[in-house]
Amino acid sequence: MSDPREPFPLSSLNLRRLRQDEHVRALTREVHIQTEQLIQPLFVAEGIPTRQPVPGLTGVCQETATSLLQQVEADLEAGVRKFLLFGVPLARRERQIDWSYTAGQITALKRRFGRDLWLATDVCLCSSTPHGHCGVLTAEGDHVDNDASVQELTQAALAYAQAGADCVAPSDMMDSRVLAIRGALDRAGLARTVLMSYAVKFHSALYGPFRVAADSTPRADGLKDRASYQLDPARPSDAWRCAQRDLAEGADILMVKPGLPYLDLLRELSRAIRAPWAVYQVSGEFAALEALAAQGLAHRAALHREILTAFKRAGAQMVITYGARYAREWLAA
């Protein structure tokens, strides 16, 4: 018999008890990945004879108008119902851009699939300008003209919403574009169109495969990169100002992008600013994980589950990932 006056033996604290089998692990889990909160990006490109695989992004192609519908049909069967569309038109110009190519793809998708899918459309200029910048250049060609860019972006958002997009998602990083787009949508009777802002989008080296897919590499002589409009990774306070500003301007959903290198900000922002948060696992992040798995150095499904869990733990509701179409398989494996 032990002495009841003995102090409680703290040294015996047994934290492995709740890790010992799959049942107790499942019962105590706090974070869940749900396929209904994953968004699959899609690329549709004008003038390609057949669908073109995107280097580094397993299973992702630049689609033709025809293959786009086939891909979405397959994705719906795989349990994916939320998409983020990037249109890549042939014609490129600086101002008074014609948005009808991408708008036409939206119309076709909605005509075919209706409310079976939720279709967000990326709003930006970089696949439509001759120089690949996300905005209109000034006459000197060494800076992006904010207000001229916002005018073009607003027209794009209107065209996409009129074509039936459920959501428009500006990714350009111009000031006041959320205010301009929300106002234009509301005045056009499109109050139900959701606005997801790429609010906290960093100037990152992880966008490589995407720029091949979207044909959007910046190539102006006077302006080589996007540092003058995307956030500096070394100035996190700017993330707060962007998030608060975009929410105040009428954004419904806020985003952090890329994901993994900015989990610290996703955690802090999602706790402090109670709005729906999205995280974009960008092309370079996804390609890096795929490369690790392809070399046999990681279990592919376990690797992706772990990273998706990190996004949920950090406070994201939705995750934009090139792997959405594999998620059901990965979660079951």
Q: Known catalytic residues?
A: 201, 257
Among positions 61, 106, 109, 126, the unique one binding ligand PBG when judged by CB under 6 A: 126
Taking the least distance from each CB to Zn ion, the nearer of 214 and 239 is: 214
Q: Which stretch in 67-75, 141-149, 208-216, 296-304 sits in contact with ligand PBG by CB under 6 A? A: 208-216
Q: Give the HSE-up count for residue 307: Cα atoms under 13 Å, Cβ half-sphere.
A: 28
In the chain, DSSP assigns E strands to 38-45, 52-53, 61-63, 82-88, 118-123, 136-137, 144-145, 167-170, 194-201, 253-257, 277-280, 318-320
Closest CA to 283 of 164, 165, 122: 122
Token pair of 275, please? 């709005």
Instruction: Give just the sign of the alpha carbon dihedral 232, 236, 237, 239.
Output: positive
Among positions 43, 101, 202, 210, the unique one binding ligand PBG when judged by CB under 6 A: 210
* 192 contacts 200 by C-beta, under 8 angstroms: no
Taking the least distance from each CB to ligand PBG, the nearer of 126 and 163 is: 126
- Quick check: 134 binds Zn ion (CB under 5 A)? yes
Q: Of Zn ion, ligand PBG, none, which one sits near residue 247, judging by CB under 5 to 8 A according to partner kind?
A: none
Among positions 63, 75, 122, 145, the unique one binding ligand PBG when judged by CB under 6 A: 122
Q: By CB under 5 A, how many residues form the interface with Zn ion?
A: 3
Q: Which stretch in 22-30, 125-133, 260-268, 285-293 sits in contact with Zn ion by CB under 5 A? A: 125-133
Q: Give the HSE-up count for residue 132: Cα atoms under 13 Å, Cβ half-sphere.
A: 17
Binding string, 77-116, against ligand PBG, x = CB under 6 A? ----------------------------------------
Measured from the CB of residue 284, what is the shortest distance to Zn ion in angstroms?
16
The end-to-end CA distance of the chain, in Å, is 49
Taking the least distance from each CB to Zn ion, the nearer of 81 and 257 is: 257
Q: Within 10 A of 40 (CB to CB), how many other CB atoms are there?
A: 24
- Quick check: 124 binds Zn ion (CB under 5 A)? yes
- Quick check: 126 binds Zn ion (CB under 5 A)? yes
- Distance between CA atoms of 255 and 231, rounded to whole angstroms? 13
Residues that bind Zn ion (CB under 5 A): 124, 126, 134
